[in-house]
A and B are shown apart, each in its own frame.
Chain A
Amino acid sequence: MRILDDGQTRANEGPAARGDRLGTALGWFSVGLGTAEIATPGAITRIVGVDNSATNRLISRTLCGARELAAGIGIFGDERPGRWLWGRVGGDAIDLSLLTAGVYRHRHEPTRLARLLFATGSVIGVTVLDVIAARRHVGPRHVSGHTARARATTTVRRTPEDLYRRWHDFDALPTFMYHLDSVHTTNGTSHWKAKGPAGTKIEWDAEIVDDRPDELIAWRSVKGSKVHNAGTVRFLPAPGDRGTEVHVDLQYDIPGGTPGYAVAKLFGEEPSQQITDDLRRFKQLMETGEVVRSEGSPTGARNAVHLLGQHPAQPLG
């Protein structure tokens, strides 16, 4: 069973590929400024308004220049540019404290003070941009706002027709989708009741938006639902008499936003983990006739996180 999370895929792309122009600009800014601070530290000290002393040139080269270059390279090269953007915010704090020290030392020299204050203002401006860019990269699965996407797939030794028919019986989905309490279908729309994170209950109405027999079912929550979600399940014949590939693609609200997502993930309640388990149970149901239970996992496959929720492997009392 494979799980591909679209948010993860996106986080693994650099800022340019994500269309994140601010992040890209800040990356180039880091590279440019870092190069200048290392190559021409004397000019930098003059522009900023501090002494062109050996100490200040050393600070320009190491504490500032090397740091900026590292951040620039990190933003373009790392799978997760977010940490380097946060690194830039930390670097801004260093720059601001150095500049504050400069302002204090040269407080009685109007020309230098003006340059230092201009430099300080510029750094504050950049800091704001850095924070904005870094916040966009928080959370590996963030796509936009509080919506994420999850995909999972498995291969089942049954025909597409059998699997389509079983999945289309929405009211019976809770048999293998354990976060669902119930689904009731009436006149083309269905009412879903589910377990939310940390014992909460959520409900929504959904409608089928695409339905191709033995091939595909797509659904989404109706307008006005509190919990927005949409999903597609595709049934593709697997090569060489291997049965049928089932591909599920979900888009869903993250209840509680990014912190809620982190907590849910910790307890194995995060939707992309749930859909993996759902598919495992679906496969068992279709191939063996039942959800397979063990004494350690008496209710059947659950994405056990560090044995959380496991019963000891001894008969149940």
Chain B
Amino acid sequence: MRANCWLGRGEVEIQEVPDPKILNSRDAIVRISKTAICGSDLHLFNGFVPTMMKGDVLGHEFMGEVVEVGHDVETLRIGDRVVVPFPIACGRCNTCLAGDFSLCENSNPNAALAEKILGHAPAGIFGYSHMLGGFPGGQAEYARVPFADVGPIKIEDDLPDERVLFLSDILPTGYMGAEFCDITPGDVIAVWGAGPVGQFAVASAFLLGAERVIVIDRFPYRLEMARDNSGAQTLNYEETDVREALLELTGGRGPDACIDAVGLEAHHASPAAYSYDRAKQVARLETDRPFALREAIRNCKNGGIVSVIGVYGGFVDKFPMGSLMNRGLTLRAGQCHVQRYLRPLLDRIRGGEIDPSFVITHRLNLDDAPEGFATFKNKEDECVKVVLTP
């Protein structure tokens, strides 16, 4: 089959690789109908995530048709249309039973690698480094889905692929980021990053009852998307002093909760400030550039909540711990426990409360994945989200 393979920093290529086979009795094989490039794939592309190997198949947002099931999968049949969550979860360990699927205790065969870097190991993730399991991803014609009796959700009605595909990652991720904020009536929520996850964090904050949502980015077309589709107020940090604007917009209180939907490759309006962290990153003195996170913490109201759904990989410098501690902030973070949100979010899509397909700007053939990566990375052609058809 054809698959989009990681070859090294800044290089992906469509290669012919073997078709997947059942390895465990709870596996299913899915013929992929739609797949996508995630912002976090750019961290792999740009070489910021350790333990990648040449030839690794990328992609963790995909859906398709079940074509084969292992003998212990009783919930799926050949021909079922399914969306597959990006974290792989066994459903039977203490953590899964508590609903924290992205921290499954059993789905990462390379947990030892992750423990060395992170202390304890999170779940396995499709196409996301060997430290997170060494599982091939879904930017391919087929994928093997472990624990297929736990993760995939069946789509039994005629909702088009594009409206349900993002249940695999970015919609629940944005939703969890908003849910972390414990939104009560009157709350003002600030969201750093108007990429696809930021767009869904904005939309979800409104779904959960936020009074106002302010979104911060540097690309006018992305800010416009958040304004036009979700009704967010927008701040372009290259044109506006974010701190002043947030104080003005919140009567000096600061946002009730701040969501970091940017992560480790953040940018900064000041070239000097950007260069400082970029240089440290190049010199491996820190792995992640936490501009958005620092700003989210400093600007959050006293006693507020900082919700981190942007991806971080290792270590950050100049973390404003004093601000967090002395002002009684709550920091919440995590890879999304997608399995927890599939059913309620599918219901919201079906009920017309949200149509996630509004983020799609580019529809390409799988063979054009390398071009899609370049366009997405360089924010060319007003790119927000690339969907691929194998």
Q: Does B310 contact A (CB under 8 A)?
A: no
Is A310 in contact with B21, judged by CB distance below 8 angstroms? no
Is A298 in contact with B130, judged by CB distance below 8 angstroms? no
Given the interface pairs A287-B106, A292-B106, the reply to whether A314 lies near B112 with Cβ below 8 Å is no
Is B93 in contact with A296, judged by CB distance below 8 angstroms? no
Whole-angstrom distance between the Cβ of A153 and the nearest chain B Cβ: 13
Given the interface pairs A289-B72, A311-B134, the reply to whether A301 lies near B25 with Cβ below 8 Å is no
- Which of A243, A273, A292, A302 is most buried by chain B, counting CB atoms within 10 A of its CB? A292
Q: Which of A273, A284, A297, A303 contacts B106 (CB 8 A)?
A: A284
Is A294 in contact with B55, judged by CB distance below 8 angstroms? no
Residues of A within 8 A of B93 (CB): 157, 283, 287-288
Residues of B within 8 A of A307 (CB): 51, 53, 113, 130
Residues of A within 8 A of B3 (CB): 314
Task: Give A280 to B20 CA distance when docked, in angstroms.
Answer: 25
Is A304 in contact with B24, judged by CB distance below 8 angstroms? no
Q: Does B110 contact A (CB under 8 A)?
A: yes
Closest to B97 in A: A157
Is B137 in contact with A313, judged by CB distance below 8 angstroms? yes
Is A310 in contact with B147, judged by CB distance below 8 angstroms? no
Task: Give A242 to B105 CA distance when docked, in angstroms.
Answer: 13
Task: Give A303 to B24 CA distance when docked, in angstroms.
Answer: 20
Within 18-72 of B, Cβ neighbours of A (below 8 Å) are at 18-21, 23-26, 51, 53-57, 72
Closest to B112 in A: A303
Within 271-323 of B, Cβ neighbours of A (below 8 Å) are at none
Whole-angstrom distance between the Cβ of B206 and the nearest chain A Cβ: 38
- Which of A276, A293, A295, A310 is most buried by chain B, counting CB atoms within 10 A of its CB? A295
Is A314 in contact with B23, judged by CB distance below 8 angstroms? no
Residues of B within 8 A of A283 (CB): 93, 105-106
Is B144 in contact with A242, judged by CB distance below 8 angstroms? no
Is A314 in contact with B25, judged by CB distance below 8 angstroms? no
Task: Give A293 to B26 CA distance when docked, in angstroms.
Answer: 11
Whole-angstrom distance between the Cβ of A103 and the nearest chain B Cβ: 51
Q: Does A229 contact B (CB under 8 A)?
A: no
Q: Does A290 contact B (CB under 8 A)?
A: yes
Q: Which of B57, B109, B111 contacts A293 (CB 8 A)?
A: B109
Interface of B is mostly: loop
Is B111 in contact with A280, judged by CB distance below 8 angstroms? yes
Task: Give A298 to B146 CA distance when docked, in angstroms.
Answer: 13
Q: Does A110 contact B (CB under 8 A)?
A: no
Is A315 in contact with B134, judged by CB distance below 8 angstroms? no
Is A313 in contact with B56, judged by CB distance below 8 angstroms? yes
Residues of A within 8 A of B109 (CB): 292-294, 296-297, 300-302
Whole-angstrom distance between the Cβ of A307 and the nearest chain B Cβ: 6
Residues of A within 8 A of B144 (CB): 295, 315
Given the interface pairs A242-B94, A283-B105, A313-B127, the reply to whether A290 lies near B55 with Cβ below 8 Å is no
Whole-angstrom distance between the Cβ of A218 and the nearest chain B Cβ: 27
Given the interface pairs A288-B92, A290-B24, A298-B23, the reply to whether A313 lies near B135 with Cβ below 8 Å is yes
Residues of B within 8 A of A295 (CB): 20, 23, 134-136, 144
> Chain A: how many interface residues by the 8 Å CB criterion?
36
Residues of B within 8 A of A293 (CB): 23-24, 109
Q: Does A1 contact B (CB under 8 A)?
A: yes
Whole-angstrom distance between the Cβ of B123 and the nearest chain A Cβ: 11
Q: Does A198 contact B (CB under 8 A)?
A: no
Given the interface pairs A284-B106, A292-B24, the reply to whether A312 lies near B111 with Cβ below 8 Å is no
Q: Does A130 contact B (CB under 8 A)?
A: no
Is B53 in contact with A310, judged by CB distance below 8 angstroms? yes
Task: Give A2 to B19 CA distance when docked, in angstroms.
Answer: 37
Q: Which of B17, B25, B127 contacts A290 (CB 8 A)?
A: B25
Residues of A within 8 A of B137 (CB): 313
Given the interface pairs A294-B110, A294-B124, the reply to whether A315 lies near B130 with Cβ below 8 Å is no
Is B94 in contact with A155, judged by CB distance below 8 angstroms? yes
Task: Give A289 to B73 CA distance when docked, in angstroms.
Answer: 12
Residues of A within 8 A of B17 (CB): 314-315
Q: Does A37 contact B (CB under 8 A)?
A: no
Which residues of chain A have a CB within 8 Å of any CB of chain B?
A: 1, 155, 157, 242-243, 273, 276-277, 280, 283-284, 287-290, 292-298, 300-304, 307, 310-317
Cross-chain pairs A/B with CB under 8 angstroms, 11 sampled:
A157-B94, A284-B90, A284-B106, A289-B72, A290-B24, A293-B23, A295-B20, A303-B112, A304-B112, A313-B127, A315-B21
Which residues of chain B have a CB within 8 Å of any CB of chain A?
A: 1, 3, 5, 17-21, 23-26, 51, 53-57, 72, 90, 92-94, 97, 105-107, 109-113, 115, 124, 127, 130, 133-137, 144, 146-147
Known: A301-B112, A310-B53, A310-B134. 9 other contacts (CB 8 A): A157-B92, A157-B97, A287-B90, A287-B105, A288-B93, A288-B106, A296-B109, A300-B109, A302-B109
